[in-house]
Amino acid sequence: MKLMFCMFADDIKLLPGNVFSRIMGAATKARMADANAAGRFAKLLQGLFKTGETGAGLF
């Protein structure tokens, strides 16, 4: 459910810089369906409701 929210938020520009699309694109290109991609998504989800540093940058 959280990832679906991220897709929605990315589409309507709630997330800055298309961060969700960038993480997905990097995961797809590198075919990193491993802990590396999971870690980036975890950092994104942790950072949704607070200001600061996430795996995708500073917000």
In which band, very low, low, confident or very high, does the pLDDT at 57 lie, cut at 50, 70 and 90? low
In which band, very low, low, confident or very high, does the pLDDT at 49 lie, cut at 50, 70 and 90? low
Rg of the chain (C-alpha set): 11
Higher pLDDT, 50 or 23: 23
Helix boundaries (H) for the chain: 2-11, 19-30, 35-46
The string of pLDDT tens digits covering residues 7-46 is 888 888 887 788 888 888 877 776 655 667 777 778 877 7
Higher pLDDT, 37 or 54: 37
At 10 the pLDDT is 87
Question: Sign (positive/negative) of CA torsion 50, 57, 19, 24?
Answer: negative
CA-to-CA separations, 20 to 34, 54, in angstroms, rounded: 17, 12
Instruction: Parse the chain into domains and list their residue ranges.
Output: 2-50
